[in-house]
Structure 1
Amino acid sequence: MKRTLALGGLVATAGLLAAGLSVPAQAASDVSSDTLASNTAALQVIKYWRGEKFSNFLNATPYTVETKVATKHVSKGGPSADSKPGVVPAIGDEKKSSSTSKNVNLPKTTGKVFFRGSDGKPHWCSATSVQSTYHNLVATAGHCVYDTVTNKATLDYWVFVPGYYQGKTPWGIYVGKTAFTHYDFDVYEDGDRDYAFVTVYNGVQPSWDTTKHQLVIKDAGRLGDNVGGQGLAYNQKIGQPVFVFGYPSGKHPDGNQAFTGKTLKWSYGKTFGATASAIKAEELQGIKSSFTGEGALGSSWLLKYSNARRLGYLNGVTIGVSDTDGNDRYDTSVSPYFDGETYGVYSAAKNSWSGKIAG
């Protein structure tokens, strides 16, 4: 699907993050949920990724579906809050640090989601762990969960691996259980609602028993207990600075290979309003960033990020990148604006239990 984006709106005055949590009204009919893998099917998912010495992980390529956002016309518009601003606190190491490091400490919560695409091949996007009741929730772009190419619903063999690097799974492999999205994205592929919250089973660390010649699945515990979980912020003022964390890959339009997708990268800047009428997206937010689109889909936009705690508030997810000045270099990433309806989808997901994988 070809997407056309129009950027607009003045950068708003930076505002303070709301101190309390405001719970907006949210109709249950606005939330769609689909099962990614049953408890027993999760074992087959692990076998798919663990088999042949993690070859499917190693051979996976960045997801390229709907990554490029063409920008030709500038128009006014952008997001607006639908209720009071609110936040959900993060979970993680509460110890305060006196570190004065000038480097950006990368979050443990970020990783890659792997799945099999409509082409039958393994692919990946970026994602992050987010706070939830059972410490089992992942946030990413909606089209990194739903197959918008064939419209056959969810993508197959969906797993999240925080801190993934070259076949290594330091905190385990987390199989997706249930995907929660907004009804308008599930049915209409509305760009304003291109986000997903996915519950995952307890992590596992699979290994091969050379004596018994069989796969051994060891429970690694809950996602949030192992890496923490980012908070959530919604109905925030446009114009505040955010960090964007993800695994960009691919080339710029001019052929320059700026990122490999192998290591976690970050961008930083202030958000601004954006619209994309061609995809019924009138309330997007953008940020100036050199991230290329492949692999960066699902990157986490973190407001008020603490370099000491490596935690902040999730306030967006990358759904595409754009070359807005026509110089053949991507310079902008875009995300849906997180509002009360986003909080409603999150609320449906945050109290959903998943548990351990059988066996």
Structure 2
Amino acid sequence: MKKHVLLPIGAIVAAGLAATAMTAPAQAGKVTSSDKLASAAGVGDVVKFWLDGNGYKLKSADPYGMEHNRVPKHVSKGAPAADGKPGIVPAIGDEKMTAAKSKNVNLPKTVGRVFFSIGSGLYSCSASSVQSAYHNLVATAGHCVYDIETNHDVVDNWIFIPGYYDGKAPWGVYVGKQAFTHYDFDVYEDADRDYAFVTVYNGIGYDLQKKFVDRGPLGNNVGGQGLAYNQKVGAPVFVFGYPSAPQGDGDYVWTGQTLKWCYGKPYFPVKEPSVKAEEQVGLKCSMTGGSSGGPWILKYSSARRLGYINGVTSLGGDTDGNSRSDMISSPYFDGETFGVYKAAYSLWSGSLVRKDGTIGITEAKSE
């Protein structure tokens, strides 16, 4: 049985961030791995799996994380080796916006919970909608998509619920279509590459007659964060997620039913060799398991609830021995991260809900 000892956990073109075209830096060797999640024929079964019985499975899911032997440690001061110039992709709706400031912290609509199954186990992580050509892309941790426990490539029954609150899906359920991650995570479970980008079908809901309803593309409903890579470490970030695991002393301060956040200046490097983490970015934060995959957002505008995803929660734990979580960490987003993102950016998913409220295969666009 999985030991949930870590967290995985898992607007704006602003000054200091360089704009970028959708061209990935040249990379040597294989960078991107991809696998299918739900086929068109299987989407209805996935939605029913989670929503039947008034969604009791959603509240039954356990937090999921990568199992590591020790708490990740901040070993020294330093800077990551960027593999190119700093770059950003603007958030949905902010392609021509200028910087905005706000003193209030309004929670982003883009963030939600990921649910999936492995065998008979039900699990949860966190994630966010991110900019893409068809507004159908989710950013999360690699271990929240790829099966790190068995010999299967990906987990089963993968869905994303943006704005999840106490078992509710206000903008519908988005079934994963195809997952993209770095080759080194897929093959070697390298935590330094613990990120994934998932294309999702149009949102699906139930009406009063228990018929399926098409809720439209993800980004059209909740927006999508921008993306930043090859940035200097140290600029403040907001981290959002749905922690649900108890603290080490048994205190259930988190429930997983509402969105939480941390704020601070990241530090580098964080290491934990048992999961091949040698160059992660750390942050002081008390979120526990279930927050894995949650976005680290740079230049977050509380007014527009948008910014640039510059990391996703991967690891975490108790660094001072008081049996309470006090840190989380993320892979450093570099040009190879952008290459994985770009591989998913232009892929279409579409709607699978017929006019009669049943699930069926619609006319597809070429991918």
* TM-score normalised by length of structure 2: 0.86
Q: What is the alpha-carbon distance in structure 2 between the residues aligned to residue 268 and residue 177 of structure 1?
A: 32
The answer (yes or no) to whether the contact 2:103–2:302 under 8 Å persists in 1 is no
Please tell me whether residue 289 in structure 1 is matched to residue 311 in structure 2: no
1:157-180 residue CA offsets vs partner (Å, 9 max, x unmatched): 000000112221111100000000
Q: What's the counterpart of residue 12 of structure 2?
A: none
1:275 to 254, 271, 278: 271
1:299 to 289, 294, 298: 294
1:54-106 residue CA offsets vs partner (Å, 9 max, x unmatched): 22223223225438851468356562211111000000478989998643100
CA apart distance, 1:30: 1.2
Q: What is the alpha-carbon distance in structure 2 between the residues aligned to residue 97 and residue 332 of structure 1?
A: 32
Please tell me whether residue 37 in structure 1 is matched to residue 32 in structure 2: no
Please tell me whether residue 340 in structure 1 is matched to residue 335 in structure 2: yes
1:313 to 298, 304, 308: 308
SS at match of 1:126: strand
Q: What is the alpha-carbon distance in structure 1 between the residues aligned to residue 48 and residue 226 of structure 2?
A: 32
The answer (yes or no) to whether the contact 1:285–1:337 under 8 Å persists in 2 is yes
Work out the number of aligned pairs and report it.
343
Please tell me whether residue 217 in structure 1 is matched to residue 212 in structure 2: yes
1:286-319 residue CA offsets vs partner (Å, 9 max, x unmatched): 1111112x11111110000001110000000001
Gaps of 5+ in 2: 7-14, 353-358, 361-367
Q: What's the counterpart of residue 349 of structure 1?
A: 344
1:211-232 residue CA offsets vs partner (Å, 9 max, x unmatched): xxxx411111000000000000
Q: What is the alpha-carbon distance in structure 1 between the residues aligned to residue 245 and residue 343 of structure 2?
A: 34
Cα 1:67–1:55 shift into 2, 3 Å: farther
Cα 1:100–1:303 shift into 2, 3 Å: closer
Calculate percent identity across the aligned residue pairs. Answer: 59
SS at match of 1:113: strand
Please tell me whether residue 62 in structure 1 is matched to residue 57 in structure 2: no
Gaps of 5+ in 1: 6-14, 210-214
Q: What is the alpha-carbon distance in structure 1 between the residues aligned to residue 214 and residue 4 of structure 2?
A: 42
SS at match of 2:290: coil
1:185-227 residue CA offsets vs partner (Å, 9 max, x unmatched): 0000001111110000000112352xxxxx4111110000000
SS at match of 1:147: coil
SS at match of 2:291: coil
Amino acid at match of 2:223: G
Please tell me whether residue 167 in structure 1 is matched to residue 163 in structure 2: no
Q: What is the alpha-carbon distance in structure 2 between the residues aligned to residue 72 and residue 50 of structure 1?
A: 40
Q: What is the alpha-carbon distance in structure 2 between the residues aligned to residue 69 and residue 313 of structure 1?
A: 30
After TM superposition, the structure 1 = structure 2 runs for residues 102-251 of structure 1, keeping only pairs within 5 Å, are 102-118=103-119, 120-209=120-209, 215-251=210-246
Cα 1:186–1:288 shift into 2, 3 Å: same
The answer (yes or no) to whether the contact 2:69–2:274 under 8 Å persists in 1 is no
More strand by share: 1
Q: What is the alpha-carbon distance in structure 1 between the residues aligned to residue 261 and residue 40 of structure 2?
A: 35
CA apart distance, 1:261: 1.4
Q: What is the alpha-carbon distance in structure 2 between the residues aligned to residue 46 and residue 203 of structure 1?
A: 10
Q: What is the alpha-carbon distance in structure 2 between the residues aligned to residue 100 and residue 350 of structure 1?
A: 28
Q: What is the alpha-carbon distance in structure 2 between the residues aligned to residue 85 and residue 98 of structure 1?
A: 18
Amino acid at match of 1:135: H
The answer (yes or no) to whether the contact 1:96–1:308 under 8 Å persists in 2 is no
The answer (yes or no) to whether the contact 2:91–2:308 under 8 Å persists in 1 is yes
The answer (yes or no) to whether the contact 1:3–1:278 under 8 Å persists in 2 is no
Q: What's the counterpart of residue 84 of structure 2?
A: 83
SS at match of 1:57: helix
Q: What is the alpha-carbon distance in structure 1 between the residues aligned to residue 98 and residue 69 of structure 2?
A: 40
Q: What is the alpha-carbon distance in structure 2 between the residues aligned to residue 261 and residue 183 of structure 1?
A: 30
Q: What is the alpha-carbon distance in structure 2 between the residues aligned to residue 183 and residue 139 of structure 1?
A: 16
Q: What is the alpha-carbon distance in structure 2 between the residues aligned to residue 220 and residue 328 of structure 1?
A: 43
Amino acid at match of 1:153: D
The answer (yes or no) to whether the contact 1:97–1:308 under 8 Å persists in 2 is no
Q: What is the alpha-carbon distance in structure 2 between the residues aligned to residue 327 and residue 20 of structure 1?
A: 44
SS at match of 1:44: helix
The answer (yes or no) to whether the contact 2:92–2:224 under 8 Å persists in 1 is yes
Q: What is the alpha-carbon distance in structure 1 between the residues aligned to residue 325 and residue 180 of structure 2?
A: 30
The answer (yes or no) to whether the contact 1:185–1:193 under 8 Å persists in 2 is yes
Q: What is the alpha-carbon distance in structure 1 between the residues aligned to residue 65 and residue 229 of structure 2?
A: 28
Between 1:46-55 and 1:156-165, the stretch displaced more is 46-55
The answer (yes or no) to whether the contact 1:87–1:313 under 8 Å persists in 2 is yes
SS at match of 2:197: strand
